[in-house]
Structure 1
Amino acid sequence: MNQSKMLQRWSARLVTGFWRNKDGLGTLEIVLICAVIIAVALLFKDKILEILDNLFGKVQSGSDDVFST
């Protein structure tokens, strides 16, 4: 048996076992949730940065008001 077929069978068994294992399923769920969060963050990166800049600008002006008096 050549190495590529052995690797395919081994990886198929690994994925199947990982899918059937409850602990593996929990890990898979966490990985998928992280992937979705990262995708959403990348999709709305500009809007998120705009909101954060606005928020930190307000904090800066508020702290300037407090410390200037």
Structure 2
Amino acid sequence: MSQVATYFFTLFALAGERLDDRKDRGATAVEYGLMVGLIAVAIIGIVFALGGQLGEMFSTVTSGLENPGAAEEGTT
């Protein structure tokens, strides 16, 4: 009788541990989702705040690639 009780106790303990792990996984997934969302919002805000400066920088790089001699003359 004690072997049967030990078997069921062990089975119950293992099942309880697996269910507890699933609870943590769900919470962790939600937390990661919130972090990714906040990072995306921060990146979008920075791009909008610096959009004009970034546009000018990319225009300068593009014109330098199209006409490399002019870019070197402009820096000296």
Q: Fold conserved (TM > 0.5)?
A: yes
Decide which of 50, 64, 71 is 1:58's aligned counterpart.
64
Q: TM-score, normalised by structure 2?
A: 0.54
Aligned residues with identical type, % of pairs = 14
Count residues with an aligned counterpart: 43
User: Which of 23, 27, 45 is matched with 1:39 structurally?
Assistant: 45
Could you list the structure 1 runs, at least 4 aligned residues long, displaced by more than 6 angstroms after superposition: none
1:23 corresponds to 2:29: yes
Unpaired segments of 5 or more residues in structure 2? 1-25, 69-76
Greater radius of gyration (CA) = 2
RMSD: 1.3
Provide TM-score, normalisation by structure 1. 0.59
Q: 2:65 & 2:27 partners in 1: Cα distance?
A: 48
What residue ranges of structure 1 are gaps of 5+ in the alignment? Answer: 1-19, 63-69
